[in-house]
A and B are shown apart, each in its own frame.
Chain A
Amino acid sequence: MEATPTENKLPLRYGDFSTLAEALDYAAQGETGANFYNGKGQLEAVLPYAVLRDEAVDIARQLMGLDLERGSRVALVAETYPDFLRFFYACQYAGMVPVPLPASIHLGGHKAYVAQLRRLLLNCRAQVAVAPGMFMSFLREAAEGLGLVFVGTPEQFSEFPRQEGPLRPSGPDELAYLQYTSGSTRFPRGVMIPQKTVMSNLASIIRHGVRVRSGDRSMSWLPFYHDMGLVGLVLSPMASQVSVDYLKTRDFGMRPRLWLTLISQNHATVSFGPPFGYELCVQRLREDTAGQFDLRSWRLAGVGAETIRPEPLSRFADMLAPSGFNPNAFTACYGMAECSLAVSFSPLDLGIQLDVVDPELLAEEQKAAPLASDFRIRTTKGKSFVKCGFPLPGFEVEVRNTEGQPMPERHVGTLYVRGPSIMSGYFGEEALTAEVLSRDGWLNTGDLAYVADGSVVITGRQKDLIIINGRNIWPQDLEYIAESQPEVRTGDASAFSVTAADGDDKAVLVIECRESRHAQRMELATRIQALIRQDLGIDCFIELVSRNTLPRTTSGKLSRSGAKKDFLQRVEDGKTEQPGAAEDFYLLRRKTG
Chain B
Amino acid sequence: MPTYEDILAIVTELIKPLAAAGRSIREDTDLVSDLEFDSLKVMNLIEQVEDRFDVSVPLNILPDIRTVRDFTVQLQAILGDN
| B: interface residue count bin | 20 to 34
Chain A residue, CB-CB nearest to B62: A107
Given A110-B64, A135-B60, A138-B63, are A537 and B39 neighbors across the interface (CB < 8 Å)? Answer: yes
B36 and A105: CB pair below 8 A?
A: no
From A107, A254, A255, A280, contact of B32 by CB (8 A): A107
Given A533-B37, A539-B36, are A107 and B60 neighbors across the interface (CB < 8 Å)? Answer: no
A519 adjacent to chain B (CB < 8 Å): no
From A110, A469, A529, A530, contact of B39 by CB (8 A): A469
A539 and B31: CB pair below 8 A?
A: no
A110 to B32, CA, bound (A): 13
A39 to B40, CA, bound (A): 16
A205 to B30, CA, bound (A): 46
Chain A residue, CB-CB nearest to B33: A530
Residues of A within 8 A of B46 (CB): 254
A526 to B36, CA, bound (A): 10
- Known A-B contacts: A250-B43, A254-B43. Give 4 more (CB < 8 A): A106-B42, A107-B65, A134-B59, A469-B40
From A105, A526, A534, contact of B60 by CB (8 A): A105
B66 and A108: CB pair below 8 A?
A: yes
A188 adjacent to chain B (CB < 8 Å): no
A537 to B58, CA, bound (A): 18
Ordered nearest first, which 8 A-B pairs have the shortest CB separation? A530-B33, A537-B39, A110-B63, A134-B60, A254-B47, A253-B43, A533-B32, A108-B66
Residues of A within 8 A of B50 (CB): 39, 254
From B31, B33, B43, contact of A526 by CB (8 A): B33
Distance of B33 from chain A, by nearest CB (Å):
3
Residues of A within 8 A of B81 (CB): none
Chain A residue, CB-CB nearest to B67: A108
A537 to B36, CA, bound (A): 10
From B30, B33, B38, contact of A538 by CB (8 A): B38
From B38, B59, B65, B66, contact of A250 by CB (8 A): B59
24 contacts between A and B (CB under 8 A): A38-B56, A39-B56, A105-B60, A107-B31, A107-B32, A107-B37, A107-B62, A109-B62, A109-B63, A110-B64, A134-B58, A137-B60, A250-B43, A253-B39, A254-B47, A254-B50, A255-B47, A469-B38, A469-B40, A530-B33, A533-B33, A533-B36, A533-B38, A539-B38
A534 and B32: CB pair below 8 A?
A: yes
Q: How many A-B residue pairs have CB under 8 A?
A: 76
A248 to B54, CA, bound (A): 19
- B1-27 CB contact bits vs A (8 Å, 1 = yes)? 000000000000000000000000000
Residues of A within 8 A of B44 (CB): 254
A105 to B43, CA, bound (A): 11
A416 adjacent to chain B (CB < 8 Å): no
A468 to B40, CA, bound (A): 11
A113 adjacent to chain B (CB < 8 Å): yes
Interface residues in chain B, defined as those with a beta carbon under 8 Å from any beta carbon in chain A: 30-33, 36-40, 42-44, 46-47, 50, 56, 58-60, 62-66
- A504-544 CB contact bits vs B (8 Å, 1 = yes)? 00000000000000000000001101100110011100000
| A: interface residue count bin | 20 to 34
Interface residues in chain A, defined as those with a beta carbon under 8 Å from any beta carbon in chain B: 38-39, 105-110, 113, 134-135, 137-138, 250, 253-255, 280, 469, 526-527, 529-530, 533-534, 537-539
Distance of A543 from chain B, by nearest CB (Å):
17
A255 to B31, CA, bound (A): 21
Residues of B within 8 A of A533 (CB): 32-33, 36-38
A5 to B57, CA, bound (A): 31
Residues of B within 8 A of A110 (CB): 63-64
A529 to B37, CA, bound (A): 11
B32 and A108: CB pair below 8 A?
A: yes
A38 to B37, CA, bound (A): 25
A326 to B34, CA, bound (A): 43
Distance of A504 from chain B, by nearest CB (Å):
12
B47 and A106: CB pair below 8 A?
A: no
From A106, A254, A530, contact of B30 by CB (8 A): A530
Among A39, A107, A113, A254, chain B packs the most CB atoms within 10 A around the CB of A107
Residues of B within 8 A of A280 (CB): 40
Residues of B within 8 A of A137 (CB): 60
Residues of B within 8 A of A134 (CB): 58-60
B42 and A107: CB pair below 8 A?
A: yes
A113 and B56: CB pair below 8 A?
A: no
Residues of B within 8 A of A529 (CB): 33, 36
Residues of B within 8 A of A255 (CB): 47
A538 to B38, CA, bound (A): 5
Chain A residue, CB-CB nearest to B60: A134
Distance of A304 from chain B, by nearest CB (Å):
21
Distance of B16 from chain A, by nearest CB (Å):
17
B31 and A105: CB pair below 8 A?
A: no
Residues of B within 8 A of A108 (CB): 30-32, 62-66
Distance of B82 from chain A, by nearest CB (Å):
15
Given A254-B46, A530-B32, A534-B32, are A106 and B60 neighbors across the interface (CB < 8 Å)? Answer: no
Distance of A223 from chain B, by nearest CB (Å):
12
Residues of B within 8 A of A39 (CB): 50, 56
A476 to B56, CA, bound (A): 36
Chain B residue, CB-CB nearest to A40: B56
Residues of A within 8 A of B43 (CB): 250, 253-254
A113 and B32: CB pair below 8 A?
A: no
Residues of A within 8 A of B40 (CB): 253, 280, 469
A105 to B47, CA, bound (A): 16
Residues of B within 8 A of A113 (CB): 63
Among A39, A109, A134, A533, chain B packs the most CB atoms within 10 A around the CB of A533
A107 to B34, CA, bound (A): 13
Residues of A within 8 A of B38 (CB): 469, 533, 537-539
Residues of B within 8 A of A527 (CB): 33
